[in-house]
Structure 1
Amino acid sequence: MTHTPVGWHVELEFKEEDDQHTRAAALVRLPDGSEVRAHGRASRHQVDANQPRVGEEIAGARALNDLAMQLLTKAHEEIDSASGRTSHPIHV
């Protein structure tokens, strides 16, 4: 039995709004052609050092976490639709 490799294309973009705020936008393209989008935000306290990379990491992690939750919801909706019963997602 031959398996075709399956992959997801994930994009993550950042926007520095000012010296204290970073936004992240995440997008995953699934093999069926559907897309799921999510966003995250980070705010730096004014007394903290300006470290843009840290803001990107926090905003990016929040966007990816939102993306993960949306993918879990999508998967459970598909399970429910195919099985005719309610599945119970376990949130991590």
Structure 2
Amino acid sequence: MAMTHRWSVDIYIDEHEETGLIHAEARLHTNDKTQLIGHGSAHRHPKDTQVAEIGDELAVARALSELSHHLVHAVARDLEDVNKRFHSADR
């Protein structure tokens, strides 16, 4: 029987019109104690046409990319822990 797990990511975007800075935060919510957050930002050059969606997309993409890296590192740590427990049980 297949089991379905649901994880979600909340994305928060802060736009600072006066500086052209856009900051995004991606928070992963799982069914356990895992707390992973990725951050990303984008900066609009003052001479560029203001198209908010482009900056939002870039900042969010960077936040999700960082979140992805954090998740890969969490998997590596978990695998190391499992291997340590497995090998210590063999002794």
Q: Tell me if both proteins adopt one fold, taking TM over 0.5 as the criterion.
A: yes
Give, in whole Å, the separation in 1 of the partners of 2:33 and 2:9. Answer: 13
> Which residue does the alignment assign to 2:22?
22
What is the RMSD of the two structures over their aligned residues, measured on CA atoms?
1.1
Overall identity of the aligned pairs, in %: 25
Please tell me whether Structure 1 or Structure 2 has the larger radius of gyration of its CA atoms. 2
After TM superposition, the runs of 4+ consecutive aligned structure 1 residues lying more than 4 A away are none
User: Which runs of 5 or more structure 2 residues have no equivalent in the other structure?
Assistant: 85-91
Deviation at 1:3, TM superposition (A): 2.1
TM-score w.r.t. structure 1 length? 0.84
TM-score w.r.t. structure 2 length? 0.84
Which structure shows the higher helix fraction?
A: 2
User: Which runs of 5 or more structure 1 residues have no equivalent in the other structure?
Assistant: 85-92
Give, in whole Å, the separation in 1 of the partners of 2:34 and 2:22. Answer: 27
Q: Does 1:5 align with 2:4?
A: yes
